[in-house]
Chains A and B, each alone.
Chain A
């Protein structure tokens, strides 16, 4: 891949380092080489000037251009260095012109492969392992970067469909089947029964236990299914139906809602939260997020609609980055209304919004608080409208509520990699305390888990609070970058300590950590934690996936995603034992200890999740220290440096800068936790 290495890895737009290295002299000398090149600086993005990618076939001059541009780029060195630009020697330019004139008839080769290339410094060679990075760079270098986004989306769709070809949860296991049958059953009962009976009909057979938005979505899907083939959703008669057609239909509904909610949310996330990054790194981040293996396996393999819930939360985050807090709150209510699991995020979101009110001061903040309270309760009312008077008696509202929050079940279900299940190996909680005590204990531990980061954001908000009459500065609030960490610590503490956790709920902590990871440099701490958490999360779901018959998909998606990111688990000694163990899991368990592998799995995964939780709190604390020195002395020093080259947005008053960790970029809103 020698011709791929000619470019520097990838350069953030507006990077102060980059701006310093562009010297006017070198631009002028380039322009004098060929008039065709002079057109390029009018393009909207700076890095395009650097990349030797002429748009049209430039005839014989093209190779020359590539040659000189490549030399120029190479003379810059890595983006983090600030060596001066060396001028292009005119003699070499003439020599290459003469060389080029030999074959005019034949089409020009794709790259100037005859140019000797300098060996890469070790760090950049390391990055060559990242398949996604290489691919995006290749596309940009070929001048087909406009195709990066559509092909990435198509490829992810293709992968999702291919995963969907496999079996699903509970396939061919009567009488109860699995999650697939549950979802299908809800479609069936929602189109055939009135609202009042949705939450009461035959509860023993997969009674509806998700909030109303899931029920409405099931109702829509059920209508479509009934239109196509009524036998798929016939009341009672269709239980356990496993025809080819119904499977394709069910799979395509997941794909449809994923494409409707989650994929746009991811796209806007890379465009809002990473607004100051180059298009290239935004697309790279999108690739990382699109192919996240855990979600693909659970949604398209196991069969659930988690991406809808996660997508609504993500849309809420995007709205917060746009300073549209009311819309964000509505999106989060939708997320809660789709799956009650979104409650794991509630402390973080609530904490953030409270901090925002605090920050805006008594008048504006109070107004915002009232608005938020009103819209939130109003959207809940709308969601639950069919179960409220005058459409139903007041007691009807209790049916969904008791179904959604089942405290009657045990402390944990199956083997789940959380605190209770892991410690249960040595310490039998059920013998020691009653359910009442355990509920209180788990609630206390959970609160202890999410409070630190929430308090930190409140403190930051208090310190940077606007005085009366002070104009609102442009850009996002200082504590917005804390939000992913808050989400992570809150959802992870719920996962580790709360009551009745399912192994699939690891998807909730995975969303914020993958968002952080998508933005991180390859050698940063965030990257390491993000990939580790993702891999371990998929591993922790192995018993579930194995039961579903998704072994091939499990291996394939893990390999694909790690290859995309350039993460090689086999090179890391600390992780290799996990790889060996996952191979060992293919071997049937000894008869004496049928549960030995799942228990081992739990014992391996739980500490990692615990560490991730502690790490997220540590990041929050570090950020608050950093803000202490910034926020109190000068109100908002970081913001001015971010938005130097930001053209004023037309639709929104503010365009948020890149938020989150930008390790190795030296231009994060607050010092990163790299070292």
Chain B
């Protein structure tokens, strides 16, 4: 079903639903610690290239969902924690991917709303929060409970039967592991080392299909493993949150929760990076440490979304738009938060990060040129005819020209995925380190 009117209608609904996001972001400016800075951050979120790529070109309603998430965060900032909890419950019922963030909400609301600062349980608060959240869920699932559809819904919502990686590897830890497996396989087959090779893994590993990923050399990963690793990383952040349940600490823990799920989750889609980037943006102007983490994660995250848009015309738009966006975020904010690196190790890290960021234009160039190169090489094998004055060659069949080898087709995606995964994993470590040493990274948000 595809017609112009339907497309126009669907796209219009996306734009209209995004008004929620705009309204919430405007509310964020009011009452912010530093409104001009918050204005930049709000504008950057509203015009986020992630939303442009995922919502307006790819088609989803993320702007609307993140509007609700930000509304919930805003309520937390303003001290209205009950409303924050209810809004998050509503959000969970719109899209269950926000489960990634649920642990941070749970700990934060439990500690700061249901317990008094001295550690005493506040029964009234606890009951009101629990009842309202349960009410939201009953409203949402009620009709399906009555019809007995719950098992069907759950199996649709949590598809553990799919593989470890998504078709295009989302740039997380598993992408790195899979790439390492590929490299090891190459190395072993070349040197002939005496290592057991899983023969089904040789042909597996993402030929662009949604299916099981089987490693050739490394031990295989089961859903339980990914779950355990995620929980371990999340609990580090959550313990810290329990002991300092402030707004800024909550924001950081929220980001880290989403981040851990993204990096170590089972069958993560690359779109989930928005779950990390949106709360992280709110922290961007805190200190240079936060800002640099934000820039690294944003550049790598947005770049990792590029393969979602593959038609050449739209590709140019997405690249230029993202470049514009990063300029408008980076240039005004960096002047505000810049700090000189204080020790040698910081200087080295700073330089390495800059080199990493400078690699992205190069990567884009490679990703653009590789398919052209591949198609031209395929063409070179075709017969060549000499052109005379008034005579033209018979044109080659377009079908044969437009069929580069599948290895060449997958290589740009793999490169993108691995390069972005390095940056995202490093940004995660950075943020975790900054969070655990939060007292040395005080910023304006600490005043809330």
Contacts and interface: CB of A to CB of B under 8 A. Distances in A.
B317 A162 contact: yes
A96 B317 CA distance: 47
Contacts of A157: 320
B313 A247 contact: yes
Given A106-B443, A106-B444, A194-B389, A154 B324 contact: yes
Interface string B287-319: 100000000000000000000000111101100
Contacts of A234: 392, 395
A231 B398 contact: yes
Interface string A638-672: 00000000000000000000000000000000000
B320 A57 contact: no
A151 B335 contact: no
Given A57-B335, A108-B336, A165-B317, A248 B395 contact: no
B79 interface: no
A151 B328 CA distance: 8
Instruction: Give the size range of A's interface with the partner.
Output: 35 or more
Interface stretch (A140-148, A202-210, A562-570): A140-148
A229 B321 CA distance: 28
Interface in A48-65: 57
A237 interface: yes
A154 B323 contact: yes
A414 interface: no
B393 A230 contact: yes
Interface in B396-448: 396, 398, 401, 442-444
A57 B332 CA distance: 12
A155 B327 CA distance: 11
Given A108-B336, A244-B311, A144 B287 contact: no
Nearest to A3: B36
Interface stretch (A109-117, A511-519, A615-623): A109-117
B444 A229 contact: no
Contacts of A165: 313-314, 317
A142 B317 contact: no
A44 interface: no
A151 B338 contact: no
Contact of A248 (B40, B312, B335): B312
Contacts of A193: 390
Interface in A137-182: 142-144, 147, 150-151, 154-155, 157-158, 161-162, 164-165
A165 B316 CA distance: 10
A107 interface: yes
Instruction: Give the size range of B's interface with the partner.
Output: 35 or more
Interface string A225-267: 0001111001101100001110110011000000000000000
Interface string B115-155: 00000000000000000000000000000000000000000
A105 interface: yes
B437 to A, nearest CB: 15
Contact of A142 (B332, B392, B401): B332
Nearest to B288: A107
A192 interface: yes
24 contacts: A106-B442, A106-B443, A106-B444, A107-B444, A108-B336, A109-B37, A111-B36, A113-B34, A142-B331, A155-B324, A161-B313, A164-B313, A165-B314, A193-B390, A194-B390, A229-B398, A229-B401, A230-B395, A231-B395, A231-B398, A234-B395, A244-B311, A245-B312, A248-B312
Interface of B: 34-37, 40, 285, 287, 311-314, 316-317, 320-321, 323-324, 327-328, 331-332, 335-338, 372, 389-390, 392-393, 395-396, 398, 401, 442-444
Shortest 8 CB-CB contacts between residues of A and residues of B: A110-B36, A234-B395, A248-B312, A109-B34, A158-B320, A144-B331, A235-B392, A248-B313
Given A155-B324, A248-B312, 16 more contacts: A57-B336, A107-B285, A107-B287, A107-B337, A107-B443, A108-B336, A109-B444, A110-B37, A110-B332, A154-B324, A157-B320, A158-B321, A158-B324, A234-B395, A235-B392, A243-B398
